[in-house]
Amino acid sequence: MSITILGIETSCDETSAAVLVDGVDLRSNIISSQIEIHKKFGGVVPEVASRKHLENVHPVIIEALEKADVTPGDLSAVAVTYGPGLVGALLVGVAAAKAMAYALDIPLIGVNHLEGHIAANFLAQPDLEFPLLCLVVSGGHSDLVYLPSRGEYRLLGRTRDDAAGEAFDKVARAMGLGYPGGPLIDKLAREGNPEAVQFPRAFLEEGSLDFSFSGLKSAVLNYLNRAAMLKEDINKADLAASFQRAVVEVLVEKTMMAVQRTGVKTIMMAGGVAANGGLRALLQERASAAGCRVVLPPLHLCTDNAAMIACAGYYKYLRGDFAPLTLNAVPALAL
């Protein structure tokens, strides 16, 4: 008998539902993005996000089931993101998942959003051998996570201030590029010189695997303010490339330190910033020099989606790790 999981994701500004069979056969992954709505505010407005999720969650679930050609009766379980994220946004997905699990009398599975991002790697490559290391870089997180075995996570390093994606978004906003900033800077950086502007790299104390990007963000803002004051023209492509290089070098350097410390042979990446071209290229280069293999989710599975939640849910299903119907949203849920 096959195991068919419905995944639901509503932690931020994407309403998504996916149907995954046996952990690898992705039958549908519907993503309704609210980016166009939040764009005019320069970032996600939580109250607006919750209301939009409420409008979208039902049609998105129906579409995911129809596209997958399954009926609710075919489902083995419903897996849903219950944190971390925006509380009002999470609650919509959690309520929908609970209602379905109750009505269909099937297990409910609560998934940590970061566990979901990491699981995007297992969709294409379910047989990766543990131990593994994962650099999780999203709008809210910059974490180095060690996975000794499936379902076990040890946090080796985290951001002390801004997350990598947050730094991309704030710098892009200051440069007048728009929202979300990561993809826009990534694109612009391809035409720029990463050596043009010297920005600081925060490595913190000797041996630390934590990150800090607020100093770099301030350095870019100071650079922009100074240019505006002196009425100097700036080369936006050079600025984007130099900023991106500063972020990427620290991320890759610390990842390679974690590789040395743990002795892992396979490095994964996860989260929206894992779609960054500069980051993917430098990690590949440094890892292959160290004799390590790099596993990267396809670009469309790096940013928020329900396929990754269904995948994490599949492995929890195999372990019998189910949630009670009293499951609640946990905005600051830790991995």
Does 213 contact ligand KG4 by CB under 6 A? Answer: no
Q: At what angle do helices 277-289 and 236-262 cross, to 10 degrees?
A: 40
Does 276 contact ligand KG4 by CB under 6 A? Answer: yes
Name the β-bridge partners of 31: 16
- Over the window 4 to 43, marking each residue x when it contacts ligand KG4 by CB under 6 A and - when it does not, the resulting string is --------x-------------------------------
User: 110: annotated binding-site residue?
Assistant: no
Pick the closer one to ligand KG4 by CB: 137 or 287. Answer: 137
Separation between Cα atoms, residue 306 and residue 300, nearest integer Å: 11
Alpha helices, DSSP H, located in the chain: 35-39, 46-68, 87-104, 113-124, 164-174, 181-189, 214-229, 236-262, 277-289, 306-319
User: 70: annotated binding-site residue?
Assistant: no
Beta carbon of residue 321, minimum distance to ligand KG4 (angstroms, whole number): 22
Beta carbon of residue 284, minimum distance to ligand KG4 (angstroms, whole number): 15
Among 78, 89, 118, 273, binds ligand KG4 (CB under 6 A): 273
Question: 10 Å Cβ neighbour count for 103?
Answer: 9
Which of ligand KG4, Zn ion, none does residue 20 bind (CB under 5 to 8 Å by kind)? none
Does 304 contact Zn ion by CB under 5 A? Answer: yes
Separation between Cα atoms, residue 327 and residue 335, nearest integer Å: 17
Name the β-bridge partners of 9: 16
- Over the window 174 to 213, marking each residue x when it contacts Zn ion by CB under 5 A and - when it does not, the resulting string is ----------------------------------------
Residue pair 264/218 in contact (Cβ under 8 Å)? The answer is no
Pick the closer one to ligand KG4 by CB: 138 or 242. Answer: 138
Does 83 contact ligand KG4 by CB under 6 A? Answer: no
Pick the closer one to ligand KG4 by CB: 4 or 212. Answer: 212
Q: What angle do CA 115, 118, 123 make, to 5 degrees?
A: 110
Both structure tokens of 274: 């894992």
Question: 10 Å Cβ neighbour count for 291?
Answer: 8
Task: Determine the 3-state secondary structure of 109 from DSSP.
Answer: strand
Q: Which stretch in 150-158, 164-172, 301-309, 316-324 sits in contact with Zn ion by CB under 5 A?
A: 301-309
Does 142 contact Zn ion by CB under 5 A? Answer: no
Helix H or strand E encompassing 17? strand 14-21
Name the β-bridge partners of 293: 266
Does 138 contact Zn ion by CB under 5 A? Answer: yes
Does 313 contact ligand KG4 by CB under 6 A? Answer: no
Beta carbon of residue 154, minimum distance to ligand KG4 (angstroms, whole number): 20
Pick the closer one to Zn ion by CB: 106 or 164. Answer: 164
Task: Name the nearest CA neighbour of 252 among 269, 275, 271, 272.
Answer: 269
User: 43: annotated binding-site residue?
Assistant: no
Widest distance between CA atoms in the chain = 70
- Over the window 154 to 173, marking each residue x when it contacts ligand KG4 by CB under 6 A and - when it does not, the resulting string is -----------x--xx----
Which of ligand KG4, Zn ion, none does residue 242 bind (CB under 5 to 8 Å by kind)? none
User: 38: annotated binding-site residue?
Assistant: no
Residue pair 299/186 in contact (Cβ under 8 Å)? The answer is no
Separation between Cα atoms, residue 157 and residue 283, nearest integer Å: 17
- Side chain identity at 191, as an amino acid letter? E
User: 169: annotated binding-site residue?
Assistant: yes
- Over the window 179 to 198, marking each residue x when it contacts ligand KG4 by CB under 6 A and - when it does not, the resulting string is -xxxx--x------------
Binding-site residues from annotation: 113, 117, 136-140, 169, 182, 186, 276, 304
Under the rule (CB under 6 A), what is the footprint of ligand KG4?
Answer: 12, 138-140, 165, 168-169, 180-183, 186, 271-273, 275-276, 303-304
